[in-house]
Copies of this chain bind each other. A is one copy, B any other.
Amino acid sequence: MTKIVECVPNYSISEDTCGIEKIISPFKEIEGVELVNVEPDINYNRTVVTVIGEPEAVKRAMVQSCKIASEVIDMTKHHGEHKRMGATDVVPFIPIQDMSIEETIALSEACAKEIYEACNIPVFLYNLSAKREQCKNLPDIRKGEFEGMKEKLQDPYWTPDFGYEVHPTAGVTAVGCRPLLVAYNIDLKTEDRKVAAAIARMIRYSNGGYRCIQAGPASLDDHVQVTMNVTDYHMTSVYRAYEAVKMEAKRFGVEVCGSEFIGLVSLDCIKDIAAYYLQKPSKDDVDLSMDEIIDVVVKNLQVHGFSKEKVIEYYVK
């Protein structure tokens, strides 16, 4: 099997389409890299890019992209609702196929080193790649944002893993390995955010719910959502999240009217969901094509905006 890694860099840019095109060009040009998605958010003034491919190729493209971002973006002129500390704000690597966590950490370290050497941008290793307790959690590193980084980095507690001084216009970057998680939202047929908040508390681990569910409420234009991360879908299958929300919603007399996956999901994850609704003992008993599995999942979880382009294996040839 080919080793496959996913990379989801976040850039501090959104309206400058031409700038974004330049930044993502290495992902289109370098062989072994597949550009999956580019999602600019104007309120956040931030663009999230999803690529997958062979580890070395993805790393090389990522370093080039980071260099271009440091030339295109000037953080001294950047404003947006999302907290940020650099032109390339964060670079998460996720193991997808035939990659161990250890290999992915090593890849992220090599990438961080090369970003520093190529761009002179200081880099923190975060999440599973963190070398120090204080670097595990990205918001802790980012606290103070671009404007506060110069002072923050003078404190030896916050010396980056590569480099020492903030890049004057490109700021600071965090690079790290994180496990594959499923970002999943469930729509409730109500505008009452309190209902979504109560249900989120009932299903999430921190309040006694399922082991691998983190959840909170979100307000959309005309309804609310329970928005969640399933941190390990092998342990807590996603159908459980859906069925638990449906069950808890009954207490409030509220209907579940849809759901959506944010970003990519693995074929294993949706196979596991399909197995439940097809009354099969496990995902290994599901003998269907990817399209058929998607149909079962879309129908039973009322998923919108889902297609094979959101399944990792679609890109893994």
Contact = CB atoms under 8 A, between A and B. Distances in A.
Nearest to A279: B251
A160 to B, nearest CB: 36
Interface string A169-204: 000000000000000000000000000001000100
Contact of A281 (B198, B208, B210): B198
Given A251-B276, A279-B252, A236 B209 contact: yes
Contacts of A207: 235
Interface in A225-255: 232, 234-237, 240, 243-244, 247, 250-253
A205 interface: yes
A252 B278 CA distance: 10
Contacts of A253: 279
Contacts of A247: 240, 243, 247
A79 interface: no
Q: Which of A205, A209, A253 has the most CB of B within 10 A?
A: A209
A210 to B, nearest CB: 6
A210 B209 contact: yes
A211 interface: yes
Contacts of A281: 198, 251-252
Nearest to A212: B208
Given A243-B247, A251-B276, A211 B209 contact: yes
Contacts of A279: 250-253
Contacts of A209: 210-211, 236
Contacts of A208: 210-212, 232, 234-237
A238 to B, nearest CB: 11
A29 to B, nearest CB: 41
A249 to B, nearest CB: 11
Given A202-B240, A208-B236, A240-B247, 11 more contacts: A198-B281, A208-B211, A208-B235, A210-B210, A210-B211, A244-B244, A250-B279, A251-B276, A251-B281, A252-B279, A252-B281
Interface of A: 198, 202, 205, 207-212, 232, 234-237, 240, 243-244, 247, 250-253, 275-276, 279-281
24 contacts: A198-B281, A202-B240, A205-B211, A207-B235, A208-B210, A208-B211, A208-B212, A208-B234, A208-B235, A208-B236, A208-B237, A209-B210, A209-B236, A210-B210, A210-B211, A211-B211, A243-B247, A244-B244, A247-B247, A250-B279, A251-B276, A251-B279, A251-B280, A253-B279
- Give 6 nearest A-B pairs by CB, closest first: A208-B235, A208-B236, A208-B211, A243-B247, A251-B279, A251-B276
